Structure 1
Amino acid sequence: MSAHAAPGGMAAPGGTYDAVIVGGGHNGLVAAAYLARAGRSVLVLERLDHTGGAAVSTRPFTGVDARLSRYSYLVSLLPHKIVRDLGLDVRLRTRTISSYTPVERSGRPTGLLVGGGEDRTRRSFARLTGSDREYAAWRRFYALTGRVAARVFPTLTEPLPTRARLRRRVDDEEAWRVLFEEPIGVAVEDRFADDLVRGVVLTDALIGTFADAHDPSLAQNRCFLYHVIGGGTGAWDVPVGGMGALTDALADAARAAGAHLATGHEALRVTSDGRAAEVAYRTRDGGERTVGARHVLVNASPQTLAALTGDAPPPPAEGAQLKVNMLLKRLPRLRDTAVDPREAFAGTFHIAEGYRQLAAAHAEATAGRPPSAPPSEIYCHSLTDPTILGPDLARRGYQTLTLFGLHTPARLFTADHDAVREELLKATLAQLDAHLAEPLADCLATDAEGRPCIEARSPLDLERDLRLPGGNIFHRALSWPYAQEGAGRWGVATGRPNVLLCGAGAVRGGGVSGVPGHNAAMAVLEEGRPSAD
């Protein structure tokens, strides 16, 4: 496990701290590092035996030296400001290929490759559609989202703007209407004619979000927005060494600043009178202790926050993804021989994600049936970062694959979880096999016991493993990045003045960003220096 663990046999912490942080995921570690660097006494309580939360690297296959980013796997929303402020020893690499989407047209295999330079992308569009019209539309649309990204992303680590102020900052009425006011399906259908191109655009609105292109709630728009504004450019980067390298660096930064990270300690209750608080927690040996705090920062879901404080829980959340990790002996050959598999899998490899296919999968899942042609996207981390493979595996050409399936809401798995998960995995891989010149099963590596190196995680698995409510990777529906009622100046307020929400469920939360952790720390620090004991 590439994640930090506290020394065995450590005494259970007690006394009073300026801040007690519940949960040692990446946002909790960001908050801990900022507060400790500002001279605050900080305790992080983590129920697992390691920090990192969903952003960890691990060796999931017995006897195989491959460290996979088991849950979250790419970084887009982490501001360089946080990396600089905390002096993080972490490297991020940009992928040279953005995406490849295979399809069969007129009885022959073809596809759309985005990346490798402007000319390469334009030629790929022309090969797919027979003209330059779709490429020109693509350029115009992503110029629009790029302008929004450059203006909105810096606000994520500032006090929440009002809606009107953010609109003025965007300063583009067309972009505001397209992204903030009307369903994203309208823009996709107005701007693009090709079904495959429409689907590739729409997928950013559906990652972890169960919605239709025309959902009137605009849940899909909020998901799309966060997927295209990262770093002010929308680029998705690869953490060298895997996600665990990032959270290890955060844990190191927090410890170096003086924060106390206590793993194997599970928070049970939080009580507060608005000025002082107490956190009851279970120790490693099963006992119960209490620690005092001026502030409590909860790096967990809003449901967990409610359970800790005894408040009524918010409406239930529901995840909608199938996460699959694989190790291959080699990358499979493609039916589309015009594209090298190393290029195709270096970016996001879209499967069954044409526009009509996405709509059909959503309709089937809404009716309570697993999609017959499950949409998914695949990415090969080891092509960009071979350090996650042991030297022998790298020498022999092994590669990792991460698959993220869409439109598989938690409700589908409740009746017969294992059978549905296996059915969906089989159907998902069949969609991939349709575009391969050899079965994926022939390329899978085996572990020390001869089993194929593949594991699948449903939303209910994530709920069990990580306590994500309903397996929702965002903890709840994503919010707009402007002021919300009751969220306070930084988007982290709760009903108790000195209890803050610093996890993905905060306003401007979701994804591996550190933004809620940063903002919760800023909210604490704005109150001024602590008085002497």
Structure 2
Amino acid sequence: MKDFYDVVIVGGGHNGLVAATYLAQSGLSTLILEQQAHTGGAAVSERVFRGVDARLSRYSYLVSLLPDKVVADLGLSLDLRSRAVASYTPVRRSGRDVGLMVERPEGAVTRESFQALTGGDAEYAAWADFYGSVSSLAEAVAPTLLEPLQTAADMRARVDGALWDELVERPLGETIERRFTDDTVRGVVATDGVIGTFAGLHDKSLIQNRCFLYHLIGNGTGEWRVPVGGMGAVTDALAAAARRAGAVLVTNSAVTAVEVDGVRGSVTWLGGDGERSVDCSWVLSNVAPSTLAALRGQSGAEKPEGSQLKINLLLRRLPALKTGDDPARAFAGTFHIDEDYSQLETAYQSALRGELPAVPPSEVYCHSLTDPTILSPELIASGHQTLTVFGVHFPARLFASDNDSVRTEATRRVLAGLESYLAEPLEDCIARDADGNLCIEAKTPYDIEASVGMPGGHIFHGDLQWPWVTDPSEAGRWGTETDVANLLICGSGARRGGAVSGLGGHNAAMTILTR
């Protein structure tokens, strides 16, 4: 290892790897320092259950915002597969169990499913009109994510003004309530505004609107795809690309201090050889802004608060549904549980009072239906499947008193919600590990903080920001800049950060390469 690098990147998550590859490809000497024993951050695949050969995407699980251009630029060998179904929502209506099925692409089954749920065609017509409009917004915004920041006025001029006002100027709840009448349909639309974001749908901050936008603009389509081999395949490909380009990746190295003066920088870390430091021209931070502040010796940085309960399961087989629908079809997309619009609001208000939601909304993903390679041939042959459950409106504050016991109760409630739509006990379907324990793993925001270093367990490193600026003086920047010229944010805390996107890494690299 050298004593001086052009660029030192703090944190080996996917954004740091993206930045390192771009910079090293351009001839800059680049060093990544990662505190864990492996790179990848929260985008990793791991064998979670002892003695069971199933490689789960333990934290991050789907890919939408990673631009195809970044994949091509870095020469990544990735197989991102489309799911056959966009979503499925089991519902009880007037004593009957029905399921709202949204295909990908939508066809006759989707229309018929809306008709069976709502009793007519009006709600599906409203759905088609709304998402047709959202698609035009996504197509306009997506290309700008890899460009210097534009002003809000310039972006508004690119799209339908009325739609802009609906999604950018007014709370998302107003738009949903005006466009849709059915409680379940409203809820399916609303969930994209609250995944990983603790907010009401009428929140004046519009954080729910920003979350909604990011969930629907990836590559201009908003499609969430399954990476073959799990999320670890994405970051393994990135790490290989970084090394091919000449970047140096050092793991088991916990950064303890960052010093910058606008021209030179110094990074200190603790590794197997004790404390070391290296000088550089640029420091890129792939850790949360609050973590970076601590590394700079700054006090008073506000710690973000994550809001989710992540549950990983391995099943011996998919459970039968009360609706009678084929579980292999129903679980192929996003399986909504108790996410009616009114249920989302009730759960939010409960959590706001510091109470666990009695009926917690959640979403289920069965990655192995799209990508069976994450399971051993023996598990595939015997019908095993993975399930990832993402509980909504579980802010960290709910677990502050006793993380372990509250985690247990929260997990029980979420899985009970799933079981309420099943025609058989869920436990009968769950596999057991080598010790005979049920293959269930739950992660609260505190668990995520402890595991991967995300402060408060916030999966976006903090509140998402609009991917444009209101101040014309900031136009033309990349959204990665800090108060010091040679210190950049390259992670999810960048203006256009959040999710597995590579946007922060790309834009930090461009900040340097286009200066």
Global fold match (TM > 0.5): yes
CA contact (8 A) 1:14 1:292 kept: no
Please show how residues 490-505 of structure 1 align to structure 2 within 5 Å.
490-505=478-493
1:444 pairs with one of 418, 430, 450: 430
Distance 2:154 2:387 in 1: 42
SS at match of 2:86: strand
Tell me the distance in 1 between the aligned counterparts of 2:427 and 2:162.
47
> Which SS does the other structure have where 2:226 is aligned?
strand
For 1:14-62, what per-residue CA distance to the aligned partner results, in whole angstroms no more than 9, with x for missing partners?
4100100000000000000000000110000001010000000000000
* 2:228 is the alignment partner of 1:240: yes
Mapped pair 1:249 → 2:237: yes
The residue identity in structure 2 corresponding to 1:314 is: A
Deviation track 1:230-266 (CA, whole Å, cap 9, x = no partner) reads: 1101110110100000000000000000000000111
Q: 1:484 to 1:36 in 2, by over 3 A?
A: farther
Q: Report the equivalent of 2:263.
A: 275
For 1:420, give the aligned amino acid: V
Which of the residues 15, 27, 31 maps onto 1:39? Answer: 27
Q: Are the counterparts in 2 of residues 24 and 44 from structure 1 also a CA contact under 8 Å?
A: yes
TM-score, structure 2 as length reference: 0.98
Q: Secondary structure at the match of 1:113?
A: strand
Please state how far the C-alpha of 1:174 moved relative to its aligned partner: 1.3
Q: Which amino acid aligns with 2:344?
A: L
Q: Is contact 1:267–1:282 with CA below 8 Å preserved after alignment?
A: yes
Is 1:231 aligned to 2:183, yes or no? no
Matches within 5 A, 1:279-298: 279-285=267-273, 287-298=274-285
For the residues of structure 1 that align with 2:101 and 2:108, how far apart are their CA atoms?
11
Query: What's the offset of the Cα at 1:312?
Result: 3.7
Quote the Cα distance in structure 1 between the aligned partners of 2:109 and 2:35. 49
User: Which residue does 2:178 correspond to in 1?
Assistant: 190
Match in the other structure for 2:322: 335
Q: Structure 1: any 5+ residue segments left out of the alignment?
A: 1-12, 528-533
> Which residue, out of 126, 131, 135, partners 2:120?
131
**Correspondence for 1:52:** 40
1:378 matched to 2:367? The reply is no
2:387 maps to what in 1? 401
The answer to whether 1:214 aligns with 2:202 is yes
Is the 8 Å Cα contact of residues 153 and 470 (structure 2) preserved in structure 1? no
Q: Which amino acid aligns with 1:335?
A: K
Aligned to 1:434: 420
Separation in 1, partners of 2:312, 2:260: 42
Q: Which structure 2 residues correspond to residues 69-108 of structure 1 after superposition, within 5 A?
A: 69-108=57-96
Q: Aligned letter for 2:311?
A: V
Sequence identity percentage? 58
Secondary structure (helix, strand or coil) at the match of 2:393 reads coil
Report whether the alignment pairs 1:413 with 2:421: no
- Residue 142 of structure 1 corresponds to 131
1:362 is aligned to 2:348: yes
Match of 1:306 in 2: 293
CA distance in 2, matches of 1:253, 1:86: 7
**How many angstroms does 1:484 deviate by?**
6.6
Pairing partner for 1:179 from 164, 167, 186:
167
Q: 2 CA distance for matches of 1:234 and 1:334? A: 28
Q: Give me the whole-angstrom Cα distance separating, in 1, the residues matched to 2:348 and 2:87.
A: 22
Question: What is the letter of the counterpart of residue 456 of structure 1?
Answer: A
Helix, strand or coil at the partner of 1:330: coil
d(CA) in 1 for partners of 2:92, 2:118: 12
Distance 1:62 1:484, change over 3 A: farther
Structure 1 residue ranges, 4+ long, deviating more than 2 angstroms after superposition: 311-316, 483-488
From 27, 45, 55, give the equivalent of 1:67: 55
Give the Cα separation in 2 of the matches to 1:22 and 1:350: 37
- Aligned mates of 1:221, 1:127 — CA distance in 2: 30
Q: Which runs of 5+ in 2 are unaligned?
A: none
Distance 1:418 1:484, change over 3 A: farther
CA–CA separation in structure 1 for the residues paired with 2:470 and 2:232: 32
- CA distance, structure 1, for counterparts of residue 275 and residue 449 of structure 2: 25
**Take 2:451 and 2:383, find their aligned partners in 1: how far apart are those partners?**
31
Q: Structure 1 CA distance, aligned partners of 2:175 and 2:181?
A: 11
Instruction: Say which SS state the counterpart of residue 351 (structure 2) adopts.
Output: helix
Partner of 2:145: 156
Structure 2 CA distance for aligned equivalents of residues 255 and 222 of structure 1: 35
Report the Cα distance in structure 2 between the residues aligned to 1:138 and 1:313, rounded to whole angstroms: 45
Cα distance, 1:315 vs structure 2: 2.4
CA RMSD across the alignment:
1.1
SS of 2:322 mapped into structure 1: coil
Retained in 2: the 8 A contact 1:302–1:313? no
Q: Which residue of 2 aligns with 1:453?
A: 439
| CA distance in 2 between partners of 1:309 and 1:103 (Å) | 51
Q: Secondary structure at the match of 1:428?
A: helix
Which of 351, 358, 375 is equivalent to 1:389? 375
What secondary structure is seen at the aligned counterpart in 2 of 1:327?
strand
Following superposition, the deviation at residue 313 of structure 1 comes to 4.4
Mapped to 1, the partners of 2:437 and 2:391 lie a distance apart of 23
> How far apart, CA to CA, are the structure 2 residues paired with 1:313 and 1:295?
25
Sort the Cα spacing of 1:425 and 1:335 in 2 relative to 1 into closer, same or farther, 3 A.
same
Q: How big is each residue's C-alpha offset from its partner over 1:161-191, in whole Å with a ceiling of 9 and x where there is no partner?
A: 111111112x211110111000000110001
